[in-house]
Structure 1
Amino acid sequence: MLKDNLKEVEANIMTACEKAGRNREDVTLIAVSKTKPVSMLEEIYAEGIRTFGENKVQELTEKYDQLPADIKWHMIGHLQRNKVKYIVGKVSLIHSVDSYRLAEEINIQAKKHQVTVPILIEVNVAGEDTKFGVRPEETLRLVEEIASLENVRIQGLMTIAPFVEDPEENRVHFRRLKQLSVDIDSKNIDNVHMEILSMGMTNDYMVAIEEGATMVRVGTGIFGARNYANAN
């Protein structure tokens, strides 16, 4: 079943890329494996997927120890400062940085591990009260503040769009995030790159790709509905 799900997702990504006149290689599929058992991750790994996204630090570290070393782990959920020390050196990218204090803690832990940590700035484009993320109009200022941290590299922006019945409703939010990344990139800030746009999930990733997403986070579309009874 998972193999078939993955084939369908891959076909959809290809369709969206073709519609937008983009290359398939320009879009990274992140298999969002939160609450899913290691056996399911192994099944998808066997199909060639090497990029997995987790929401919780404890779950990420447990799976990190059980699965092959060539996996690229992405922290996509809200990250508390006191949990940063557990994932620095293990994750390829942190998607959910929305404050200077969090970036500062990542920098502290990165120096301890003698690594540089790539991050994305999480933007609450739709202004939802229930979501984390910096407001669009405050994003540039935050980027400028974080840019001074030596062991953190801003690689782009991330957003979690509203859950909607019609994915087209989120096009405006994806478009806004893309424009924000272009505006920030035009400032030519040292230590800041706008190479990555992490946007789009199971419900709307095709629209996100059409609007410039370079990473899409697909969980349910690959693994099926989440089982919160297994969540840590």
Structure 2
Amino acid sequence: MSIADNLAIIREKIAAAARRAGRDPAEVRLVAVSKTKPAEAVDEAARAGQRLFGENYVQEFTAKAPAVREAVEWHFIGHLQSNKVKSLAGLVSMIHSVDRLSLAEEIDRQWGRLGAVCDILVQVNIAGEATKSGTSAAELVALVRAVAALPHLRVQGLMTMPPFFDDPEGARPYFRQLKRLAGIVAAEGIPNVAMAELSMGMSGDFEAAVEEGATLVRVGTALFGEREYRL
């Protein structure tokens, strides 16, 4: 099947999941995860109506983005080292993976040089997995409060990556927990913080994520197929 066919199927699944949860499907945006895929695949998806793309690797993104011919919006969704932030400045509209204050300070510094503001999500490692990035639930409010004080950032919500399960139902409690944590943060009334976005759910479990409140679902394999290469 073509990328356009896959896109139509994914969109219908997102819409159906939203309706099952009593939500407006328009509340959920698909982030097409284009890591390891060439610029041509991004263009093909864009011509089929997809506008929002997520990249995981700075080097790959900075090589690929100039080759994309269609008008698209980029989010950075992967683990980010502070010394690579400058390569993203001004090129992405949101960073999903802010997991520590030092990284937020570098994003603030680089966007500040542009006189711009970067929308960010705070990544939470709900399961406490050693192999995954993210702040702990216990430290979340303190981190959000510190990040929110930086003038060139806007905290727009939270992101998580649950453990892998063959059955997507296994991930559901983690999605539910992220939604609960967003409510806790929102109740703090911290200036410059909006818990408007929940980035959660990937190819294998995005329907459960939508049912639990996701506003951004990160889907790659189901749209583009298996990985092709990595720079």
TM-score normalised to structure 1 length: 0.97
What is the distance in 2 between the residues matched to 1:131 and 1:104? 21
Aligned length: 230
**Aligned residue for 1:128?**
129
5 Å matches for 1:1-232? 1-68=2-69, 70-227=71-228, 230-232=229-231
Shift, 1:127, TM fit:
1.3
Shift, 1:58, TM fit:
1.4
Q: Partner amino acid for 1:49?
A: Q
SS at structure 1 position matched to 2:103: helix
8 A Cα contact 2:43 2:70, kept in partner:
no
8 A Cα contact 2:47 2:70, kept in partner:
no
Query: Any gaps of 5 or more consecutive residues in structure 2?
Result: none
Shift, 1:69, TM fit:
6.5
Identity, % of aligned pairs? 48
Shift, 1:38, TM fit:
1.1
What is the distance in 2 between the residues matched to 1:213 and 1:188? 21
1:7-61 CA-partner distances (Å, limit 9, x unpaired): 1111110110110011111000000000001111111111010100000111212
What is the distance in 2 between the residues matched to 1:69 and 1:141? 40
8 A Cα contact 2:58 2:84, kept in partner:
yes
Shift, 1:4, TM fit:
1.5
Q: Partner amino acid for 2:168?
A: P
What is the distance in 1 between the residues matched to 2:5 and 2:48? 10
Shift, 1:70, TM fit:
3.1
SS at structure 1 position matched to 2:139: helix
Cα distance, 1:67–1:173 mapped onto 2, change above 3 Å: same
TM-score normalised to structure 2 length: 0.97
Q: Partner amino acid for 1:97?
A: V
What is the distance in 2 between the residues matched to 1:92 and 1:220? 23
- After TM superposition, the runs of 4+ consecutive aligned structure 1 residues lying more than 2 A away are none
What is the distance in 2 between the residues matched to 1:92 and 1:12? 26
What is the distance in 1 between the residues matched to 2:170 and 2:80? 28
Query: Any gaps of 5 or more consecutive residues in structure 1?
Result: none
What is the distance in 2 between the residues matched to 1:82 and 1:219? 26
What is the distance in 2 between the residues matched to 1:96 and 1:10? 24
Shift, 1:73, TM fit:
0.3
